[in-house]
Amino acid sequence: MIPNDIANFELTILPHLDAAYNFARWLTRNNEDAADIVQEACLRAMKYYNSYRGGDGRAWLFTIIRNIFYTRNDSESKSQSVIDRNFNPVDLISYESNPELIYQQNENKEMLHKALELLPVEFREIIILRELEGLDYKEIANIAEIPIGTVMSRLSRGRKILSNYLVKYYKKEGLNGMQ
């Protein structure tokens, strides 16, 4: 790298290591693979820094991470779409009157965590980019290389699976608790 690139790399890429790791961690669902992918992504980013055309360094880093992840997990991501069949939303909009009850306990946080991990990766990655990174549809569409309409429908499906799962879990636990 030329010295100028190194200085720019420090400004544009280094501040996003946490975001990079968070994204990789949710994709891979374990610490070692996440750290490994982020390291490789940074090496690539250094190597190909001259092809970086400005803009959000974070988004560029996400694109690289995603490429590495899908290359490594090509077979896994296609065959094992991790969905637990129980997650299929049955009747999406027949919620209990006060769903807020669901999230009041700490263990529900863990449940939601688990549910997000089990969400198929094509929904999970979109949820992370939107909910945790606050990217807009256009940015997400660029990173995931899908049309904006698909971003919206995947978000919709992902969010509904998650809310529905929690409603169900709460109802089940609630019953057990009463017995």
Partner 1 sequence: MECSKIQSFIDGYYDSELDLTKSLEIEEHLKSCENCSAVINNYKILHNAFSDNSFYYNAPLSLKNKIVSELDRQTNKPIFKIKSIFNWRNTSFALTALLIISVILIINLYNNPISGDISEQIVNSHLRSLASGNPTDVLSTDKHTVKPWFNGKINFSPPVNDLTSQGFSLIGGRIDYLNLKPAAVLVYRYNKHIINLYISLSDNSIIENREISSRSGYNIIHWVKDGMDYSAISDLNIEKLKIFNEEFLKAL
> Which residues would be at the binding site for partner 1 (CB under 8 A)?
1-3, 6, 9-10, 14, 17-18, 20-22, 25-26, 31, 34-35, 38-39, 42-43, 46, 92-95, 99-100, 102-103, 108-109, 112-113, 116, 130-132, 136-137, 148, 152-153, 155-156, 159-160, 162-163
Nearer to partner 1, 63 or 153 (CB): 153
Question: Smallest distance, Å, CB 75 to partner 1?
Answer: 25
Residue with smaller CB distance to partner 1, 74 or 113: 113
Distance CA 160, CA 93 (A): 9
End-to-end CA distance of the chain: give it in Å, rounded.
66
- Non-local (6+) Cβ contacts of 74 within 8 A are none
* Closest listed residue to residue 17, CA positions, set 76, 66, 61: 61
In the block, tokens 């994204």 appear at: 23
**Cα distance between residue 19 and residue 158, in whole Å:** 21
Compute the least distance from the CB of residue 94 to partner 1, in Å: 7
Least distance in angstroms from the C-beta of 103 to partner 1? 6
- Nearest approach in angstroms of CB 148 to partner 1 is 8
Helix axes 31-47, 57-72, angle to 10 degrees: 120
CB of 154 to partner 1, least distance (A): 9
**Of 136 and 145, which has the nearer Cβ to partner 1?**
136
Query: Of 120 and 128, which CB lies nearer to partner 1 in the complex structure?
Result: 128
CB nearer partner 1, residue 120 or residue 164: 164
Q: Are 141 and 147 in contact (CB under 8 A)?
A: yes
CB 121 within 8 A of CB 127: no
